[in-house]
Amino acid sequence: MQILRQLDVHPKVREEADILVRTFSGAVGKMFYLSNLKLTIISTIIMGILFLSEVNYYLTPTLSEELFVDTSRGSKLRINLDIIVPTISCDVLSIDAMDTTGEHHLQIEHNIFKRRLDLNGKPIEDPQRTNITDTKARIRTTIKTVENTTEKACGDCYGAAGDIIKCCNTCEDVREAYRLKNWALPALGMIKQCKNDKSIERMKTAFIQGCQIYGYMEVNRVGGSFHIAPGDSFSVNHVHVHDVKPYTSTQFNMTHKIRHLSFGLNIPGKTNPMDDTIVVAMEGAIMFYHYIKIVPTTYVRIDGSTFLTNQFSVTRHARQVSFFNGESGMPGIFFNYELSPLMVKYTEKTKSFGHFATNACAIIGGVFTVAGLIDSLLYHSVRAIQKKIELGKYN
C-alpha cells in the first residue's frame, strides 16, 4: 500500500493535520486511496496516448499543393493493369491500344501477360506474354506470306481469293481472305484447311475458361484508348473491327474484375479509384465504357526526391450491342483516357518543433489539471455526504 501511495499524483494528508484543503482519499480512508490511484493511472494513460498521437502528427510531413501547366508532353505514359474476365478464354480475347487519332500504336513498349483460369478463378497454366494488336504489321505479314507461297501449291480460298490473298494454304489464310472481303465465314468444319486447326479447339474452350490480363504498357503521353474484346482484330477501310462471326452476340458475358488500374509509378499509400472493382454484365454482348480523366501529379519528398505519377477519376457507361440489328460497336471493355493540361505538385514539409513542444506541454498540463479538478469534486461531494450522515447519528 505504501508503494501505491507513493505513485499517487494527488497525495492526501491525515485528518489531524492543520490543513484546510483536503482530497478525497485522505477524507474517507484507505478505500479511497485505490480510487485515487485509478484516477492517476487513467490520467497517465490518457496523457501517453495524446502525447504519442502528437509525436505521430509531428513526424508526419504536411503536403503543400501547387497547380501549374503540364509541360511534360514528350515523356511516356505508363499504364498498369490487372483485369480478370472470368467467363471468356484467353484464346478469344485480344487487347488493342490506339491514340486519339485512331491509329494503332506501332512498336509499343509493353509487358502484357495472359493467364488462363478455370471458371473458379484458379490458374490453369503459367502466364504467357501476349502482343498488343498491330494491324499494319499483320497486313504486312499476310502479304509476305502470300508472296512466299506463290511458288507452292495454291489452296482453295472458297471464293474469297483476291489481289492480296490469292492462295489459302492454312485456316488462317481462309479466315483472312474472308475478312478482307467482309464476308461471313462458313462453318470451320466445312473448310479443309481448318479441320486440324487449333481454332476448332479454341472455339470449344471459348466459354469454359476465364482469363487474367495483367502487366504494363508505355504509350505516348497523349489521350488515347485501349480495350479488351473477344475475336481477332483487324482493319477494314481504316476502321478497327473484331471478327466474332463464329459466335453469337449473346454468348459474350463481359463481366470483369479490375484488380488494379493505374497510370504512372505506384506510390505507397496512393489509392486508385478502380482497384478491386467488379463490373457485372446482366446481359450478353455488353459494351462497357470507362471514361478516365488523368491529372499528372508530382510528389516532392522531404529528402528532395521527385516522383512523377498520375491521379485519375472515372465515369462508367454500358450498353448492349446487337450484330443483327446493324448497331455499331462490339462487346468488350473499353478504356478511354484523356490527360489534363494542368499538373498538381505536392511537396512534403516538416512541422515546427516549437509547435510540437507547445502542444506536448499543453497535453500534459491539461490532463493533470482536469484530473485534479475531478479529484477535488469527488472529495468535496463525499465529504458533504459524510457530514450529513454524522449529523444524523448525533440526533
**Do residue 276 and residue 334 come from a single domain?**
yes
Tell me whether residue 298 is in a domain: yes
Most confidently modeled range among 31-45, 82-96, 121-135, 172-186: 82-96
Residue 287 pLDDT > 60: yes
Residue 243 pLDDT > 80: no
Neighbouring C-beta atoms of residue 149, cutoff 10 Å: 18
**Do residue 50 and residue 168 come from a single domain?**
no
From residue 285, alpha-carbon distances to 72, 248, 250 in Å are 39, 9, 5
Phi-psi region of 19 (alpha: psi -120 to 50; beta: other; left: phi over 0): beta
Q: For residue 25, give every residue at least 6 positions away whose Cβ sits within 8 Å of its Cβ, in sequence order, or none.
A: 8, 10, 12, 32, 33, 35, 36, 379
State CA 341 to chain mean position distance: 23
Q: Report the C-alpha gap between 184 and 232 in whole angstroms.
A: 14
**Do residue 10 and residue 80 come from a single domain?**
no
Tell me whether residue 120 is in a domain: yes
**Do residue 97 and residue 219 come from a single domain?**
yes
Tell me whether residue 198 is in a domain: yes
Tell me whether residue 273 is in a domain: yes
Percentage with pLDDT > 90 across the chain? 18
**Do residue 162 and residue 202 come from a single domain?**
yes
Q: Report the C-alpha gap between 128 and 126 in whole angstroms.
A: 6
Tell me whether residue 145 is in a domain: no
Q: Report the C-alpha gap between 285 and 283 in whole angstroms.
A: 7
Tell me whether residue 272 is in a domain: yes
Percentage with pLDDT > 70 across the chain? 71
- For 61-70, what is each residue's pLDDT tens digit? 888 889 988 8
Tell me whether residue 124 is in a domain: yes
The residue that leads in pLDDT, 8 or 270, is 270
Domain encompassing residue 156: 68-134+152-348
**Do residue 362 and residue 344 come from a single domain?**
no
Residue 300 pLDDT > 70: yes
Neighbouring C-beta atoms of residue 98, cutoff 10 Å: 19
Q: Which helix (H) or strand (E) holds 360?
A: helix 353-394
Tell me whether residue 369 is in a domain: yes
C-beta separation of 200 from 179 below 8 A: no
Cell 477519376 belongs to residue: 313
Residue 186 pLDDT > 80: no
C-beta separation of 116 from 242 below 8 A: no
**Do residue 361 and residue 334 come from a single domain?**
no
**Do residue 340 and residue 363 come from a single domain?**
no
N- to C-terminal Cα distance for the chain? 36
Residue 261 pLDDT > 90: yes
From residue 44, alpha-carbon distances to 206, 231, 363, 366, 374 in Å are 66, 68, 11, 12, 14
**Do residue 19 and residue 104 come from a single domain?**
no
Share the mean pLDDT of the chain.
77
**Do residue 304 and residue 381 come from a single domain?**
no
From residue 82, alpha-carbon distances to 89, 184, 234 in Å are 16, 34, 24
**Do residue 91 and residue 184 come from a single domain?**
yes
The residue that leads in pLDDT, 22 or 55, is 55
- For 13-41, what is each residue's pLDDT tens digit? 554 444 444 444 444 445 555 666 777 88
**Do residue 371 and residue 303 come from a single domain?**
no
List the one residue out of 147, 136, 183, 181 whose CA is nearest residue 161. Answer: 181
How many domains are there within the chain? 2
